[in-house]
Amino acid sequence: MRVIGIISGKGGVGKTTTSVNLGGALNYFGEDVTVVDANFTAPDISVLLGFPKLGLNLKSVLSGKCGVNDALYAHSSGTKLLPTSLSLAELNIDGSNLSNVVRRLDSEIVLVDSCAGFEKDFFHVLNAVDEVLIVCNSDLLSATNALKAVNLAKQYGKKVLGLVLNRYDGTGMSAKAIENLIGVNVIGLVPEDQYIKKALDEKDMVVYLEPEADASIAFKKLAADLIGRDYKIPEVKNSRLGDFLRFIGL
């Protein structure tokens, strides 16, 4: 089992978008994958995928109300989800048992979506995972906060898989400048893509709803690289994707 944390320093950079779509992309390649929403204060996955009124969920598992398999949901693609309820009543749930809960899942790959900032829930995620992907955007604030996340992950002895540079539109810091600042390679470059908003409006994953969208192709490329599979990127459709292809040397 591979347990991968999707973390960042700054909020709003695309952790949840990455968790859900990378999960969908891994599922596309036939992996048994579960996406866990470990953002206890602002859980977004159930809202993003259109089932906000949850019954049993990760909070129920953590509080001992049910087993982990009772709280699993499935997206139409087959991607498994362990969501967290928005319920204010359970706001103070103790996430310190997250590591044990996650190990009880029987997926080959578990992606753990994290909160923003370096609060206690962030450290519960670091404790629960073996590897991390760091999500950041092309601006100095998100990059410097990503550096803090990388340093903390290393302190916790976690393998840093690399950076996912999200919402890339050719402006701001270059991927090279970000790599130099953080000292970690960019292994995924996801363009700014209007289809992400469309998928959000339709409460679905972009990789499932719009499989040919630039962002979907980028998530599939990242998924393929993570599991050592070949993925032939379809014909270049526009310049942003062209930059992306040049960046990854294709």
Residues that bind ligand ADP (CB under 6 A): 8, 11-17, 44, 116, 166-167, 190, 192-193, 196-197, 200, 215
The correct pick among 6, 10, 16, 173 for binding Mg ion (CB under 5 A) is: 16
196 binds, among ligand ADP, Mg ion, none (CB under 5 to 8 A by kind): ligand ADP
Q: Is 248 exposed, middle or buried (0-12, 13-18, 19+ CB in 10 A)?
A: middle
Q: Rounded to whole angstroms, how far apart are CA atoms 33 and 183?
A: 29
Total binding residues toward Mg ion, as defined by CB under 5 A: 3
Residue nearest to Mg ion (CB): 16
Residue placing its CB nearer to Mg ion in the complex, 112 or 189: 112
CB of 125 to Mg ion, least distance (A): 12
Q: Which stretch binds Mg ion (CB under 5 A): 14-22, 85-93, 127-135, 188-196?
A: 14-22
200 binds, among Mg ion, ligand ADP, none (CB under 5 to 8 A by kind): ligand ADP
Q: How many CB atoms lie within 10 A of CB 163?
A: 24
* HSE-up of residue 156 (Cα within 13 Å, Cβ side): 21
Judged by CB under 5 A, the chain residues 43 through 62 that form the site for Mg ion are 44
Q: How many CB atoms lie within 10 A of CB 30?
A: 11
> 240: closest CA among 204, 194, 178?
194
Judged by CB under 5 A, the chain residues 87 through 146 that form the site for Mg ion are none
> 41: closest CA among 81, 87, 4, 6?
87
24 binds, among ligand ADP, Mg ion, none (CB under 5 to 8 A by kind): none
Residues with Cβ within 8 Å of residue 49, at least 6 apart in sequence: 20, 75, 81, 83, 203, 204, 205
CB of 135 to Mg ion, least distance (A): 9
